Chain A
Amino acid sequence: MLAFLTGPMFWIALVVFVAGLAARGVWYVRGLNWQLDRVAYRAHPRAGIRGALRSIFYWLVPMGTRGWRVQPFMTVVFFVFHAGVVAIPLFLLAHTVFLAEKFGAWLPAMPQPAADVLAWAAAACIILLALRRIALPEVRILTDLQDWLILLLTAAPFVTGLFARYDAAGYESWMIAHVLSGEILLIAAPFTRLNHILLFFLSRAQLGADYGIKRGGLKGTDVAW
């Protein structure tokens, strides 16, 4: 079972993930329209790219924007959570070994204690994000089933991975659940709001280009995100 999941199934999941997101990205970019969006993308490529990069950059920096600074609790939870869900899958030692086996190239591995702290912190943030959804009326009113589904999909590989790490007796079963849930996450990404893995960058770039071209960029004003 584990051999199948880490073998053919891994490749299937990865192909769905990459191809699905790529298709979503191509559809997005091709669908942009200077007149409907009222942004002259082609006429001012430099200003557009500059605005796009600024927009992505400032939002990737913790407290880099006014939006982040005015909601420090959410910002900390958000960044720790995302640091965990991006860094652990790629840089945990066990994962780098696995990826090196598949691709023949080594990613640098993070020290195990750091990985432990990050994994637990990310898990804690998942709980905090769930509590935030329930506790805050302005978030509760927006929340739908898919929000819970994707939070669950994201939590599953973490929880199972942590159990696999500490529960030596049940290792094999936890590993099956871990790999399976990770692959479900990859397969689900293009078809759910998890597609923000890619679309975050594209959507931010679009609004950045809008500001960079139309809303002041050509006047020499960089919007203070």
Chain B
Amino acid sequence: MAEMSLCNRRPVNDEETLKALLSDTGGKEYYKQMESLDVDTDLLWSTISKTMNSRLKTWLSLCAHCGMCADSCFLYRISDRDPTQVPAYKIQSTLGEIVKRKGKVDNAFMRRAMEYAWARCTCCNRCGLYCPHGIDMGVMFSYLRGLLYQQGFVPWEMKIGAGMHRVYQAQMDVTDEDFVETFKWMVEEYEEDYPGLAVPVDKQGADILYTVNAREVKHYPEDLAEAAILFHLAGADWTVASKGWELTSLAMFAGDWEACRLQVQSVYDAMERLRPRRMVGTECGHAHRATVVEGPYWAGREDGLTPVPSIHYVEWLAEALREGKLKIDPKKRLKVPVTLQDSCNYVRNHGLRDIVREILSYIVEPGCFRDMDPSKEHNYCCGGGGGFNGIGLYRAERNKALITKRDQILNTGAELVVAPCHNCWDAIRDMVEEYHIPVKWSFLKPLVISMVEIPDHLKPKE
């Protein structure tokens, strides 16, 4: 069969292909081509033979079929307890079946597997906490995504996202020049209010190398200014890299492991080049997981650590507040009921559950914080994780998936949801729009800026 122009096994490595994909609005033609995409069963089986080790094989065979994972999955719970939404069933009937058939599966099977991998699992890893045998189905679904990506059975937006990383080393078509210029321009916008505000680019040996989400550059440049303002007010010695500034990885959602490696390597190269004392990433969940938690493994770093210690924005912010580098005006603390969205990617998957609560203890009036139930590492996915937010094909399923979080939020009675994660933030925004619930949502940066005290020497001169 002739190789298809849009939907195929080739990763996107150039601008031209990216543009061709982008011009196919909504991936209409792309998905049509997918219906006749061959499965390279030899490649599938040889990949499995090379990469499926004893842990994954044991997870598949050890499953006691006890069903205790069912209730741990929010997608099962909001699907009227549909048995085909039980995590163990979802992985056994996709990855398990591929292995059982030694890779001999057809187009229809792969398209079904794609739906399971991207619309029935957000890789939130919650089920792994509920399996008595310690089987983490989120990890297996991530592995399955890699197999599907390699075969070309990947949602249109994910193919594009991974391609963006390959072409731009960013999740969007934002060039290094765009990044530096936008950051400088945003900082200039606020120079009058904050005299001396600047964005140091490529400074050697700074305390902090700050990395961002390309979306901030393209759609939310205010966020860049806010980061600069808070570093400025805290008197931080910080810098950004003109190359290797992108923390995110849609490639991770896509299962494009080579693009994952290229992406994190660009950030690690910036660390090696500028030798900061540490790296601080923006308020993003998956980006932190990609670059800080999983990235070292993609890049072949045997200690599992980044070249310089790397922390999430919440860790830096908690430190700045704790050490008094940023002082909160107690009169301006949040006095409405506030709840917190724990991001799966750095709470369940990197243990940062208490530090965000520490921040809230500084910025929320005592008695106003209402935790969700369940919370911390047992919290549910926002409903849009793992790429779910961005896939048009599964929009209806994603909107339904928001119900769990909607009800969790409503049950707290909170008027404001603090969401220090881009994915969660988006999901909550869409939820408010879709279900008309009376809550506001916010990153931490604008909240802190609204209540931080400006030291006299940093105040604008009259």
Complex contact B62–A193 (CB within 8 A): yes
Contact flags (1/0) for B337-381 with A, using CB distance below 8 Å?
000000000001111111000000000000000000010111000
Residues of A within 8 A of B92 (CB): 142
What is the count of residue pairs linking A and B with beta-carbon distances less than 8 angstroms?
A: 156
Contact residues, A205-222 vs B (CB, 8 A): 206-208, 210-211, 213-217, 219-221
- Given the interface pairs A43-B304, A137-B81, the reply to whether A208 lies near B65 with Cβ below 8 Å is no
Neighbour of A216 across the interface among B133, B136, B350, CB < 8 A: B350
Contact residues, A179-225 vs B (CB, 8 A): 193, 195-196, 199-200, 202-204, 206-208, 210-211, 213-217, 219-221, 223-225
Contact flags (1/0) for B48-64 with A, using CB distance below 8 Å?
00010111011101111
- Check if A31 is an interface residue, CB within 8 A of chain B: yes
Residue of B nearest to A216 (CB): B351
Residue of A nearest to B347 (CB): A216
Contact residues, A37-95 vs B (CB, 8 A): 37-40, 42-44, 55, 59, 66-67, 70-71, 74, 78
- Check if A33 is an interface residue, CB within 8 A of chain B: yes
Whole-angstrom CA separation of A140 from B88 in the bound complex: 12
Residues of B within 8 A of A31 (CB): 53-55, 57
Whole-angstrom CA separation of A55 from B134 in the bound complex: 8
Residue of B nearest to A147 (CB): B65
Complex contact A138–B67 (CB within 8 A): yes
- Check if A136 is an interface residue, CB within 8 A of chain B: yes
For residue B264, give the distance in angstroms from its CB to the closest CB of chain A: 12
- Given the interface pairs A28-B54, A39-B304, A196-B64, the reply to whether A206 lies near B134 with Cβ below 8 Å is yes
Residues of B within 8 A of A38 (CB): 294, 297, 304
Whole-angstrom CA separation of A202 from B62 in the bound complex: 11
- Check if B83 is an interface residue, CB within 8 A of chain A: yes
Residue from A136, A203, A206 whose CB has the most chain B CB atoms within 10 Å: A203
Contact residues, B247-270 vs A (CB, 8 A): none
Whole-angstrom CA separation of A117 from B83 in the bound complex: 36
- Given the interface pairs A66-B378, A215-B349, A223-B129, the reply to whether A193 lies near B64 with Cβ below 8 Å is yes
- Given the interface pairs A139-B66, A200-B132, the reply to whether A193 lies near B377 with Cβ below 8 Å is no
Complex contact A217–B351 (CB within 8 A): yes
Complex contact B62–A196 (CB within 8 A): yes
Complex contact B55–A43 (CB within 8 A): no
Contact flags (1/0) for A130-142 with B, using CB distance below 8 Å?
0001001111111
Whole-angstrom CA separation of A217 from B348 in the bound complex: 11
Residues of A within 8 A of B71 (CB): 70-71
Whole-angstrom CA separation of A110 from B294 in the bound complex: 50
Number of contact residues on B: which range applies?
Answer: 35 or more
Contact flags (1/0) for B74-87 with A, using CB distance below 8 Å?
00100001011010
- Check if B409 is an interface residue, CB within 8 A of chain A: no
Neighbour of A221 across the interface among B62, B88, B132, B352, CB < 8 A: B352
Whole-angstrom CA separation of A28 from B51 in the bound complex: 14
Complex contact B134–A208 (CB within 8 A): yes
Tell me the dominant secondary structure on chain A's binding face.
Answer: helix
Neighbour of B134 across the interface among A35, A203, A216, CB < 8 A: A203
- Check if A149 is an interface residue, CB within 8 A of chain B: no
- Given the interface pairs A141-B89, A199-B58, A219-B351, the reply to whether A35 lies near B300 with Cβ below 8 Å is yes
Residues of A within 8 A of B349 (CB): 215-216
For residue B281, give the distance in angstroms from its CB to the closest CB of chain A: 15
Whole-angstrom CA separation of A42 from B297 in the bound complex: 13
Residues of A within 8 A of B58 (CB): 28, 199, 202-203
Neighbour of A138 across the interface among B76, B129, B296, B350, CB < 8 A: B76
Complex contact B70–A138 (CB within 8 A): yes
Complex contact B304–A214 (CB within 8 A): yes
Contact residues, A15-32 vs B (CB, 8 A): 27-32
Whole-angstrom CA separation of A207 from B56 in the bound complex: 12
For residue B276, give the distance in angstroms from its CB to the closest CB of chain A: 20
Whole-angstrom CA separation of A196 from B88 in the bound complex: 17
Whole-angstrom CA separation of A216 from B352 in the bound complex: 7
Neighbour of A142 across the interface among B88, B134, B300, B305, CB < 8 A: B88
Residues of A within 8 A of B57 (CB): 31
Complex contact A213–B293 (CB within 8 A): no
Residues of A within 8 A of B177 (CB): none
Neighbour of B83 across the interface among A137, A202, A225, CB < 8 A: A137
Complex contact B83–A138 (CB within 8 A): yes
Residues of B within 8 A of A144 (CB): 65
Neighbour of A225 across the interface among B51, B61, B129, CB < 8 A: B129
- Check if B433 is an interface residue, CB within 8 A of chain A: no
For residue A150, give the distance in angstroms from its CB to the closest CB of chain B: 9
Residue of B nearest to A140 (CB): B83
Complex contact B354–A221 (CB within 8 A): yes
Complex contact B131–A67 (CB within 8 A): yes
Residues of A within 8 A of B67 (CB): 136, 138-139, 142
Residue of A nearest to B127 (CB): A67
Residues of B within 8 A of A34 (CB): 297, 302, 304
- Check if A36 is an interface residue, CB within 8 A of chain B: yes
For residue A142, give the distance in angstroms from its CB to the closest CB of chain B: 4
Complex contact A207–B128 (CB within 8 A): yes
Known: A31-B53, A40-B302, A71-B71. 7 other contacts (CB 8 A): A31-B54, A32-B54, A36-B53, A37-B55, A196-B62, A200-B132, A216-B377
Q: List 22 A-B contacts (CB under 8 A).
A: A31-B53, A36-B51, A37-B55, A40-B297, A43-B305, A44-B304, A59-B134, A66-B378, A67-B72, A67-B132, A74-B68, A139-B67, A140-B83, A193-B63, A203-B133, A207-B135, A208-B134, A215-B351, A216-B351, A219-B350, A221-B352, A224-B376
